[in-house]
Amino acid sequence: MKIVVIGANGIIGQSIVAELKEHEVVKVGHSKGNYRVDIEDRGSIKAMLEKVGQVDAVVSATGNGVFASIEELTFDQIKAAINSKLLGQINIFQIGRAYVREGGSITLTSGVLAQHPMRGGSALSLVNGAIESFVKATAFELDHKLRLNAVSPHFVKETMDMMDMDSTSGISASDTAKAYRHAVLTKETGQTFDVADYI
């Protein structure tokens, strides 16, 4: 299979690439990789995919958000999270679907805060929940010509360690990547796969 991984240079993205190593993986990043892309720029996505050509799957492990208490969270920060992680990934779907062979898949990334909110996470809860709703509703209309799913990562141990947080409750990037493998290879569609179920 030929699989595009967008966000391939991130902590999760690198593990997805490793997890899918028996396939032809095209690594795409914002600043480095086989190809570069700005997911908020639809022209950038189209130009990248024109170079890559037809693929069997697209995996998005990208999109930015912010942690801030509701008292400190600004409207601009909410908008930035929506523009990046939500609308950026919708851009990937809308443009990418034309480059995925019939029966292939697109996998987006949501996050555990959609189901388990925490202080400071309201912007990410908003975006993650919207991604999951979008996936469920959109897949319903695709008639299995294209599979659309999301993966919901938990806090990643490596990231928690970098932030000097207690990583006891975290899930490693390599374990997180197993849910992405499932999303790419499964025949299911319209689902959100919780990484904890694939360890």
Structure confidence at residue 125 (pLDDT): 96
Share of the chain above pLDDT 70, in %: 100
Structure confidence at residue 18 (pLDDT): 98
Question: What mean pLDDT do residues 24-44 have?
Answer: 96
Burial class (CB in 10 A: 0-12, 13-18, 19+), 71: exposed
Domain 2-198 top-level CATH class: alpha beta
> pLDDT by residue (tens digit) across 133-176?
999 999 999 988 999 999 999 989 888 888 888 888 899 999 99
If you average pLDDT over every residue of the chain, what do you get?
95
List, in order, residues 6 or more apart from 168 with CB less than 8 Å away: none
Structure confidence at residue 16 (pLDDT): 98
Residues 172 and 12: their CA atoms lie apart, in Å, by 9
> pLDDT by residue (tens digit) across 91-111?
999 999 999 999 999 999 999
Chain centroid offset of residue 198 CA:
16
Other Cβ atoms less than 10 A from the Cβ of 178: the count is 20
Structure confidence at residue 162 (pLDDT): 85
Cα separation values, 179 from 23, 81, 107, 186, Å: 16, 23, 10, 10
> Taking the domains of the chain in order of start, what are their residue ranges?
2-198
